[in-house]
Amino acid sequence: MSKLSEIYDGWKNYVFPNSEIEREAKRRIEICVNCDKLNSRNTCSLCGCYMPAKVRSLKSHCLLKLW
């Protein structure tokens, strides 16, 4: 899957939420909150992604394989 497709998918789901994706996003972000790679701007210092959008892309994964 292309990185652009993952980014588009995450932002689309961020702007137009759906209950199934929101459940998965909540599960993922709870993991991220406890990770030392998440900075105060809600960006992952490892991959550089804005996590509120990335956790909503079901095509994406954590580079640390946490989700």
Domain region containing 44 = 3-54
Residue 30 within any structural domain of the chain: yes
- For 42-63, write each residue's pLDDT tens digit: 999 999 999 999 999 999 999 9
Q: Is residue 19 part of a domain?
A: yes
Burial 1-34 (b: 16+ CB within 10 A, else e): eeeeebbebbbebbeeeeeebeebbeebbeebee
- Residue 2 has a pLDDT of 87
Three-class SS state of 3 = helix
pLDDT value for 7? 93
Instruction: Assess if residue 63 is contained within a domain.
Output: no
Measure CA 12 to chain center: 12
In a domain, 62, yes or no: no
Asked if residues 66 and 34 have their Cβ atoms less than 8 Å apart, the reply is: no
Number of folded domains that form the chain: 1
Look at residue 24 and tell me if it is in a domain: yes
For the cut 90, the answer to whether the pLDDT of residue 1 exceeds it is no
Residue 66 lies in a domain: no
Q: What is the pLDDT of residues 8-46, one digit of tens each?
A: 999 999 999 999 999 999 999 999 999 999 999 999 999
